Structure 1
Amino acid sequence: MPDQATTAATIDVRAIAPRERHPSIFLAFGKLAAGQAMDLVNDHDPRPLYYQFQEELPGQFTWSYLENGPAQWRVRIQKQRAPGHGSGQCCGACGGA
């Protein structure tokens, strides 16, 4: 069961041109504050997106399936605090101070 993060946005990628999907998702994720989440709706398992998140933002997100097809997948992607946050040297990545 996913935690009770504040869901700041729901993105239905089925309405977005395929070449614009991942950039749009990363842009929306970048606007989230630490602890906020976005729900992603797709017509297939977005596993390649998960691997891209792992590569580009390791340790900065959680990924929880809310619905596993077969016609629709829903995933909650929550922004975590940036590594080292709270050390007095905030990098600003999470939107916090």
Structure 2
Amino acid sequence: MAATTLDLRDVPPADRHPKIHDTFESLASGETLELVNDHDPKPLFYEMQAEVDSFDAEGYEVERRGPGEFVAQLPKK
């Protein structure tokens, strides 16, 4: 499964969700968006689950790799 990585730690908070949605939309079915973030992106999970039909919520995973580093996998159906 192909993955596209998006490191959001240096992106201003107001620009993060539009960038995430644009990048996710550009993925092909079966690909995954890997997000590197400075906090747990749980609110994003709920947003994607409610608003994006092609988001595979069952395949979502998040891992805390250290202080200020969370890596989430957002697969596309």
TM-score (norm 2): 0.85
Q: 1:53 aligns with which of 48, 53, 67?
A: 48
Counterpart residue number, 1:68: 64
Q: Give the whole-Å Cα distance in 1 for the aligned partners of 2:40 and 2:23.
A: 19
Q: Which has the higher helix share?
A: 2
Percent pairwise identity: 35
Task: Tell me if the contact between 2:54 and 2:76 (Cα under 8 Å) persists in the aligned partners.
Answer: no
Contact in 2 for aligned 1:43/1:69 (Cα 8 Å): no
* Structure with larger RCO (C-alpha < 8 A, sep 6+): 2
Amino acid at match of 2:19: S
Structure 1: segments with no counterpart, 5+ residues: 81-97
Provide Cα deviations, 1:25-56, integer angstroms capped at 9, x if missing partner.
00000000000111100111001101100110
Where in structure 2 are there 5+ consecutive unaligned residues? none
* CA shift digits 1:48-73 (9 cap, x unpaired): 101100110146323112x2255110
Q: What is the alpha-carbon root mean square deviation over aligned residues?
A: 1.5
Greater C-alpha radius of gyration: 1
Counting only pairs closer than 5 Å after superposition, residues 12-51 of structure 1 correspond to structure 2 as 12-51=7-46
* 1:79 lines up with 2:76 in the alignment: yes
CA separation of 1:42 and 1:60: change in aligned 2, threshold 3 A: closer
Q: Is the 8 A contact 1:45 1:69 kept in 2?
A: no
Counting matched residue pairs gives 74
